Amino acid sequence: MLKNNFWNSAIIFGLGFLLIRAISFLLLPIYTNALNPNELGFVFIFITFLAFMNSIYSFGMDSALLKYYHNEKNVFFTSLISIFIFAIPCNILIYVSSDWIELILFSNISIIENKIIIQKFWVFLAIIILTLDAISARIMTLIRILNLSYYYLIIAGLNIIVSLSLNLYFLYFINSPFKFDGVVYSLAIVSIVQCIGLMPIALYKINNWSFNTRLFKKMFYFAWPFFPATIFFIIIELCDRIMIEHFLSAHDVGLYGAGYKIGALMLMIVRGFNLSWQPYYLKIGEKLNDTTIKKFSSIGNVLLLILIFIGGIISSLWPYLITVKIGSFSIIGIDFVPGGQIIPYILISYIFYGLFILQMPSIYLKNKQNWAPLLWGAGAMINIMGNIILLPKMGYMGAAISTLLSYSIMSIILIYKNYSWLWIPYNFKLLCFAILISISRYYIINNWEYNFIIIISIYGIIMAALLYKSKNKLL
């Protein structure tokens, strides 16, 4: 029953997360048909800035809330107030440093031929977005702990409807040459609506409106190693946009970002899975034994097979997917199609990230959180060095390869350490066979003229059989 509950919860939370993250995918045809590569490049750079600052505003305290919620009183209100301890100085810093930040982020603004004007309004909107998103993220963590999966799903649906509506309105119905402004306005309004939608559950669960200083110190001590780890994660995920602009151009950022969004469908699946996975292993890991390890192993086998299958399907479909048209809209505007070549590399990168997430129970259950920044730091360093070396030689393809190297090496290091910390065995024969089948399918489709639908169908049947066998044998 517990295993069934896990997968039921994982599917619902995963669906909600996919809806939220699918906004970036669903916005892709809106952006790529309304903006040129230069304009979209600067949108991606601004979103990169927000993502980086989000990690600073949270300071790893979401992980501390997960850790201590069931063992401490008044933990949620203390966690919620802690947001402002980090947000207020960050807001002041952004405001006083706005000229410098603008120079770094939008250094090549002159090449856009006056179609975008960066004004001080973005500073105030960025502060609003970051503060409200930090509050929303903390409440979302509470929803995960309480397993309120349907509430999460409702918020996700609200988020996607508002975001799509606002972007369509600002980019297509407002006759303005400054379309960057419309994107930023949309982000700010969505943050406000999402935070309002989450407030009822926050107010309902606060039963003590006092700030616990002792508990805050305890949570801070647990959380701080996750802060640099989160920073390093953002570096791996997003610094390539900044470096591509530096080494190449904003135009290349637009091409790379468009292709990356398709590959990042795999990231959405992995992070959606982690919404249930993390609370699950923290709960059952309190009594760590052979049965618990077997459950971890079983779940891991199933997830890895699913990721390999999905990666195989998308890697075959992407040349057709990005040229699909819905009316006058293409999923990716014709100017952005060259960016699709990075998609297979990004898909494989996130399969390794899924493996890394599956190996994370040891970090929490064995109190190895000090290793988190080391693991993510190694990945970030590899990513930065890879971009410096490969971008001048390979263009933005070098950034995709750097991302793959980062996640694969991080996974290998954690698996090696878990051999002594918390070994989670998988059915490697089954997984290797699935990988072999996926590679064979990819090679056949790309080198021989066989019926595409038949090959994909056979591949799907084989992978479904492997998943069925794994589920029956291990679950």
Taking the C-alpha atoms of residue 210 and residue 46, their distance in angstroms, rounded to an integer, is 36
Q: What is the arithmetic mean of pLDDT over 292-305?
A: 84
CA distance 5 to 316: 33
Q: What span, in angstroms and rounded, lies between the C-alpha atoms of 114 and 107?
A: 14
Mean pLDDT of the chain: 77
pLDDT in the model for residue 110: 42
H/E element, 326? strand 325-326
Q: Residue 310 burial by CB count (10 A; 0-12/13-18/19+): exposed, middle or buried?
A: middle
- As a whole number, mean pLDDT of residues 20-40 equals 69
Q: State pLDDT tens for residues 414-459.
A: 989 988 888 888 877 888 887 887 777 766 766 665 566 677 777 7
User: What is the predicted pLDDT for the residue at 192?
Assistant: 92
- 443 contacts 312 by C-beta, under 8 angstroms: no
Closest CA to 85 of 117, 56, 51: 56
**Proportion of the chain above pLDDT 90, given as a percent:** 5
Give the amino acid at 164: L
pLDDT over 50 (residue 115): no
- The Cα diameter of the chain in Å comes to 69
pLDDT in tens, 360-395: 888 878 878 778 888 888 888 998 899 899 988 888
* Structure-derived torsion over alpha carbons of residues 439, 445, 449, 455, reported in degrees to the nearest 10: 90
Of 73-77, 120-124, 153-157, 347-351, which has the strongest mean pLDDT?
Answer: 347-351
pTM above 0.85, yes or no: no
Mean of the pLDDT values across residues 71-95? Answer: 83
| Domain spans of the chain, in order of start | 2-426
pLDDT at 111: 40
DSSP string, 409-462: HHHHHHHHHHHHH------HHHHHHHHHHHHHHHHHHHHS---HHHHHHHHHHH
